[in-house]
Amino acid sequence: MFSKRYSFAKVTEMGCCGCFRFAFPRKTKRFLRPSAVSRNHISQELLLNEELEDEYDDCSYNGDVTDTGNGDDGEFRSPAKRSEEILMYRTQHGLICREFPVKETHKIIRSEDENGNKMVNEYVRECKIGSGSYAKVVLYRSRVDGKHYAIKAFHKSHLLKLRVAPSETAMTDVLREVLIMKMLEHPNIVNLIEVIDDPTTDHFYMVLEYVEGKWVCEGSGPPGGLGESTARKYLRDIVSGLMYLHAHNIVHGDIKPDNLLVTGTGMVKIGDFSVSQVFEDDNDELRRSPGTPVFTAPECCLGLTYHGKAADTWAVGVTLYCLVLGKYPFLGDTLQDTYDKIVNNPLSLPDGINPLLMNLLEGLLCKDPSQRLTLKAVAEHDWVIGQEGPLPQYLCWCKRNKLQKQRTDGSSADTLTLATLTIV
């Protein structure tokens, strides 16, 4: 029996909502600030993906693992009030943005179907998607609705053994990510469908929307390129999803192609909230960057405080650069060299590039965060609008409720009306 403190049943009863990719960081891999990094060679694969092998079976939905950046001092992990505290308050007071809650199941029945295929409750196992140090991900089909789902299976005992900070285990990060995933619902964020947690067993499961597509760079990423038309389409979805997160005071912290999945119809969905942070208000100041080195903003490389939303926007710029040009704008042979280039090297763009695209990339990859384009400015940029027109405005569930209440109360505090926004 596990402590109620770490019971998913206990956490999930407070409220529900959805997101994506229930991915956990592996054993902490500490990347030092540039001034403290030796000149020893670090492979470019490590700079891009930071993936280290472990003896325990693990996987993440899209095969990516991101450093938690926890370090030895827990205070570098979170804003002034910890994300966990803010999330607990939101769930306890019903401050979530989801029309229908995540399904909560507290009983696990493991069986087989008539063909001998393994089952977990209503879900029939079809094939394994991946594995690694924290979990395995398997494709299942529901016998209730016939749909496919990506199910992540975890061992609670294993998470409790993995220490990511002096006073925290991997379970701490897991609970924070679960709470974030329960907050959100947006067409450009992969959705959490169900949490299966039996307090009498060591297993728990995350039932996720199955994205039957690819990663945004799969088969066409560095080296290579997608071309402007496809890159524009993908960028519009990325910006839409990230604007939604920022509007809810959530910083993603690790935007990059490997965390962006494309559905069979070509829609991009953002995943991996394993290093995300939540804020009470618009003060998004952080003191340590946990993301992937080549997507790290210059201000994050200096070991100083920085603003999470601006850092997310820089990562969008690096991602767009990758999508269009098929390479990374700043990449060295070592971690120190990569950081030095991010901070000091000018942005290099090829001759003959579309002037509008050049202007957008220069604005996104502006080294001064105070002068960097905001996501709103990106959404209104001529290159982004292109032939498709302005980005559809998504009226989220909590905003709909607020506007409906204002209409009922006769309030005009918010000038938006239900008629002016498209619910997509």
> What are the two backbone dihedrals, phi and then psi, of residue 120, each rounded to the nearest 5 degrees?
-125, 110
Active-site entry in 67, 173, 254, 312: 254
Q: Rounded to whole angstroms, how far apart are CA atoms 311 and 299?
A: 8
The more confident residue out of 188 and 399 is 188
Q: Rounded to whole angstroms, how far apart are CA atoms 124 and 127?
A: 10
Going by the annotation, the residues of the binding site for ATP are: 152
- CB-based contact 378:360 (threshold 8 Å): yes
Pairing of strands 148-155, 135-142: antiparallel
Asked if residue 163 has pLDDT above 50, the reply is yes
Rounded to an integer, the average pLDDT of 39-64 is: 41
- CB-based contact 274:217 (threshold 8 Å): no
Chain segment 66-121, per-residue pLDDT in tens: 333 333 444 444 444 677 777 777 776 667 788 888 899 999 999 999 999 999 99
Measured at the CA of 167, the angle between CA 32 and CA 131, to 5 degrees, comes to: 70
Where does the chain hold its CATH 3.30.200.20 domain(s)? 4-209
Q: What is the DSSP string of 151-219?
A: EEEEEHHHHHH-EEETTEEHHHHHHHHHHHHHH---TTBPPEEEEEE-TTSSEEEEEEE---SEETTTT
User: Residue 225: what pLDDT?
Assistant: 78
User: Residue 341: what pLDDT?
Assistant: 96
Where does the chain hold its CATH 1.10.510.10 domain(s)? 214-385
Which of these, 61, 67, 83, lies nearest to 26 by C-alpha position?
Answer: 67
Name residue, tokens 């006769």.
Answer: 410
Asked if residue 326 has pLDDT above 80, the reply is yes
56 pLDDT band (50/70/90 cuts)?
A: very low
- 254 is known as an active-site residue: yes
Q: What is the CATH number of domain 4-209?
A: 3.30.200.20
214-385 to CATH, choices 3.90.1300.10, 1.10.3470.10, 3.50.50.60, 1.10.510.10: 1.10.510.10
User: Residue 289: what pLDDT?
Assistant: 67
Q: Rounded to whole angstroms, how far apart are CA atoms 312 and 289?
A: 11
Q: Cβ atoms within 10 A of the Cβ of 320, count? A: 26
Name residue, tokens 């292109």.
Answer: 386
pTM for the model stands at 0.76
Task: State the first-to-last Cα distance of the chain, in angstroms, to the nearest integer.
Answer: 43
Round the CA-based radius of gyration of the chain to a whole number and report it: 21
Asked if residue 400 has pLDDT above 50, the reply is yes
